[in-house]
Amino acid sequence: MRLTHLSIRRFRNLESQELDLPPEGVALVGENAQGKSNFLEAIYYLETFRSFRGARDDQLIAFGEEVFRVAGRLTSPDASEPAVEVAAAFQRKGRKKKVTVDGAEPERLSDGLGRLAAVIFSPSDVAIVNEGPSERRRFLDIVLSLNVPGYLRSLQTYRQALQQRNAALKDGRSSAVVSVWDEPLVRSGAEVTAERARWIESVSEEFTGYYTEVSGGQSAVPTYKPSVDTDRPTDAGAAADAYRDGLAAVADRERRMGTTVVGPHRDEVTFAIEGDRDLDVRDYGSGGQRRTAALALRLVEASTIRAARGQEPIVLMDDVFAELDEGRSERILQLIEREETGQVILTVPKESDVKVRRDALPRWGIRDGRILT
């Protein structure tokens, strides 16, 4: 599918506009602080109904306004499928979010997720590698919720059980009350861990290939590390047994701390640079190595979209070459040109910075939130 029309109303600093997007994509050229990233944020909001920059919904509403709305029309390149319109709006008063697909509200918000099949490349992606484990878990949860059937439901069930169990622990409730939530926590948590571990295992070779190509020869490997001791994290049954044993082992500690200390909310993903000693990219890697790991993650995310949804992703690129050295920039450019054959929508500060599909993408401008087509 291609994004052929975008309607923006009171989103960030963007002027309310109706935009027809070319099927090949567009390069949005403009100085900093004009709204380029906000434009990509508005588009990606229709994929996940949340900001890719982690902002709250009320922070996305234009200053002095009460509601924002973004809508996009998706059209099949060969007209083999009917066009689809996805819209999302948020009202400050009452914190009300409304999502529609072809004018109808889905039964659950999650039923509207993933219609764009979009992947976002941004300099801020390095936070996935640089920051704490929660950033990597968040990345996994988004990718798997959008591409693996049943994952989001397992994750939601786990979060609900975890919330109830933590409340019981915090309130000092009896062991009998706390243990009511053990089995729901274990079953759903094991499913979450198994799916995460399977995905990491399935993309490991591809991740290493991308990393090696972008780095110019060095390789790195991702590893999923559960918070409990199991040598079979991809097996939900084995993970469940490990979580049961883990909960029993830390019962006294949890009661003292008033919180659950084992489960997928404590799991980790690491990226090891292969060599004489396998070193964690986060702890020992250079800035370039950490950015390369983040780029490799986004590339395997795009590959996952192709495999899971049978279509080329819409690629959103937010000045991605700005913080890469020349060698890595050239290699990532070659890789993206080779693999990303769908629609590309990118932002750059000046026209000479347009590197992806340099001669193929129409140029748009932006000034004070007004997009100039």
pLDDT in tens, 68-111: 999 999 998 877 789 999 999 999 999 999 999 999 999 999 99
Q: Is 34 labeled as ligand-binding? A: yes
CA angle 2, 322, 135 (to 5 degrees): 75
Q: Please count the residues of the chain.
A: 373
166 labelled binding-site residue: no
Give the residue from 220, 195, 227, 190 showing the smallest Cα distance to 297: 220
- Summarised one tens digit per residue, pLDDT across range 2-13 is 999 999 999 999
277 confidence band (pLDDT: 50, 70, 90) = low
* All structural domains of the chain: 1-117+314-373 (3.40.50.300)
Residue 65, classed as helix, strand or coil, is coil
pLDDT band with cut points at 50, 70 and 90 for residue 276: low
- Tens-place pLDDT, residues 334-348: 888 888 788 999 999
pTM: 0.94
Give the model confidence (pLDDT) of 231-258 as tens digits.
Answer: 899 999 999 999 999 999 999 999 999 9
35 is in an annotated binding site: yes
Nearest-5° Cα angle at 348, 347 to 351: 120
Whole-angstrom distance, CA of residue 257 vs CA of residue 251:
10
Residue 218 assigned to a binding site: no
Q: Is residue 182's pLDDT more than 90? A: yes
> Does 156 appear as a known binding residue?
no
The reply to whether 37 sits in an annotated binding site is yes
Pairing of strands 67-75, 84-91: antiparallel
Average pLDDT of the chain is: 94
* 88 annotated as belonging to a binding site for a ligand: no
- 111 to 100, 144, 205, 280: CA distances (angstroms): 10, 14, 31, 37
Q: Which residues contact 176 (CB under 8 A, 6 or more apart)?
A: none
How far is residue 8's CA from residue 317's CA, in Å, rounded to a whole number? Answer: 19
- Determine whether the annotation assigns residue 36 to a binding site: yes
Q: How far apart, in whole angstroms, are the C-alpha atoms of residue 104 and residue 160? A: 27
Q: Yes or no: say if 52 and 27 are a contact pair by the CB < 8 Å rule.
A: no
Write down the number of H helices and E strands in the chain.
Answer: 11, 14
What whole-number distance in Å separates Cα of residue 136 and Cα of residue 267? Answer: 9
